[in-house]
Amino acid sequence: MLVCSSQREGAMKPVIKKGYGSTGRRGTAHRVATNAQGILPLPLELALKERMKELHCLQQLEQIIGANQGTLDDVLQQTVEAIPEAWQHSAYTVARISWGSKVYQTGDLDRCPMVQSSVIRSNDTIYGCVEVGYTEPCAEAIERPFLVEERVLLDTIATRLGSLIAGAVAEEGLKRTLQKNERLYKQLLTVLGGMAEMRDPYTSGHQHSVEALALAIGEELGLPLRQLEGLRLAASVHDIGKIIVPAEILCKPTTLTRHEYDLIKDHAEAGYNILKDVDFPWPIARIVQEHHERMDGSGYPKGLRGEELLLESRIVAVADVVQSMCAHRPYRAGLGIDAALAEITQNQGRLYDPVVVEACLRLFNEKALCV
């Protein structure tokens, strides 16, 4: 290590010595500091101090990355600000991280007469570089501006940043892929929902009404946004299975026979079969299958009960009943919102989830929701 000393008597003086390496060949000149008594404690102390600074820098880098706060831009800016303190002549040190067209720096590195750099890469992909330089020639650093250990530290930082950036790029790519897939899923469900309503003009708009009410109930219950999106999409196609039911039965203006009613009941399982092989990021098929199940097991198609049902299924069940009773059907006029709310109130806990019912009642009685 290169150490600057004064020329006072008894002060530390730089002495050039030559030594032999482990290979036996004569090594290059290096400086060690000695005092008047020939004792050499200073280089060891300074070396230890420099290593501690380097370790602290790496620790800071891991803390910045591990905190996972802010964007990648924030992480890189905090990292570049932490680098100079690890260098021997930190008062004159500036650092710069370049990534694509973005630059993060603590000073004007282009004006530095002494600069070292390391490429930021991961596998075979180069993302940029990290550079460190001195803003002016340091008397102590003319012959040896950077320590070997600082070179290793810079390479270590570059390697860590390479892994970090590669991970962020991969995550962003995955996020874009998922977003694209979700758009396709939503487009598919929109088309399927339209097909179901074309087969049954008397219930045209019913699925949209159930979707709106189910979403309002979910929001009232405080469901997270991701779960609300799945609930909304499932409600928008909950009757997709009706495309297997003959149109003359769907549009029949008189009371259905037992056989005809059984055919209509098949739509829940049919909807599940239509959707089950699509790898949605939400349980769409299962919600569609369960929306006619009841809390006491008296529903269809499987006779599931209570907690066996998804919460989303229980929400769609209540929204479907309320909207169906309010709507006009080929064989009867709409019964109105009062009758619909009376139905779910009288049968909460037996047929319908009481928590879902209470949320639905609040929407209409306290928040003036309109069907």
Q: CATH no. for residue 75?
A: 3.30.450.40
Is residue 183 in a domain? no
Is residue 193 in a domain? no
- Digit-coded pLDDT (tens) for 124-163: 899 999 999 988 765 555 556 777 888 888 898 898 899 8
- Digit-coded pLDDT (tens) for 22-50: 333 333 333 333 344 443 344 666 667 66
- d(CA 369, CA 224) in angstroms, rounded, equals 21
Most confident stretch, 95-109, 149-163, 253-267, 282-296: 282-296
Domain that holds residue 122: 48-170
Residues 354 and 235 in one domain: yes
Residues 32 and 64 in one domain: no
Residues 131 and 210 in one domain: no
Residues 52 and 153 in one domain: yes
Residues 333 and 211 in one domain: yes
Q: pLDDT above 70 covers what percent of the chain?
A: 82
Residues 231 and 310 in one domain: yes
Tell me the pLDDT band of 186, cut-offs 50, 70 and 90: confident
Predicted confidence at residue 36, as pLDDT, reads 40
Is residue 333 in a domain? yes
Residues 275 and 296 in one domain: yes
Residues 25 and 89 in one domain: no
Is residue 334 in a domain? yes
- Digit-coded pLDDT (tens) for 268-299: 999 999 999 988 989 999 999 999 999 999 99
| pLDDT(89) > 60 | yes
- Give the residue among 201, 257, 235, 218 at the shortest CA–CA distance from 359: 218
Residues 16 and 66 in one domain: no
Predicted confidence at residue 8, as pLDDT, reads 33
* 27 vs 116, more confident: 116
- d(CA 34, CA 52) in angstroms, rounded, equals 23
| pLDDT(11) > 80 | no
Token pair listed for 314: 């229980």
- Give the residue among 168, 220, 159, 214 at the shortest CA–CA distance from 324: 214
Is residue 192 in a domain? no
- Give the residue among 95, 5, 89, 106 at the shortest CA–CA distance from 50: 89
Longest dimension (CA), the chain: 116
Is residue 30 in a domain? yes
Residues 223 and 314 in one domain: yes
Residues 281 and 331 in one domain: yes
Domain finish residue from 170, 186, 217: 170
CATH number for the domain spanning 323: value is 1.10.3210.10
- Digit-coded pLDDT (tens) for 337-351: 999 999 999 999 999
- Digit-coded pLDDT (tens) for 299-319: 999 999 999 999 999 999 999
Q: Burial of 161 by CB count in 10 Å (0-12 exposed, 13-18 middle, 19+ buried)?
A: buried
Is residue 157 in a domain? yes
Total number of domains constituting the chain? 3
Q: pLDDT above 90 covers what percent of the chain?
A: 41
Mean pLDDT of 54-69: 72
Backbone torsions φ then ψ of 348, nearest 5 degrees: -70, 140
Residues 6 and 121 in one domain: no
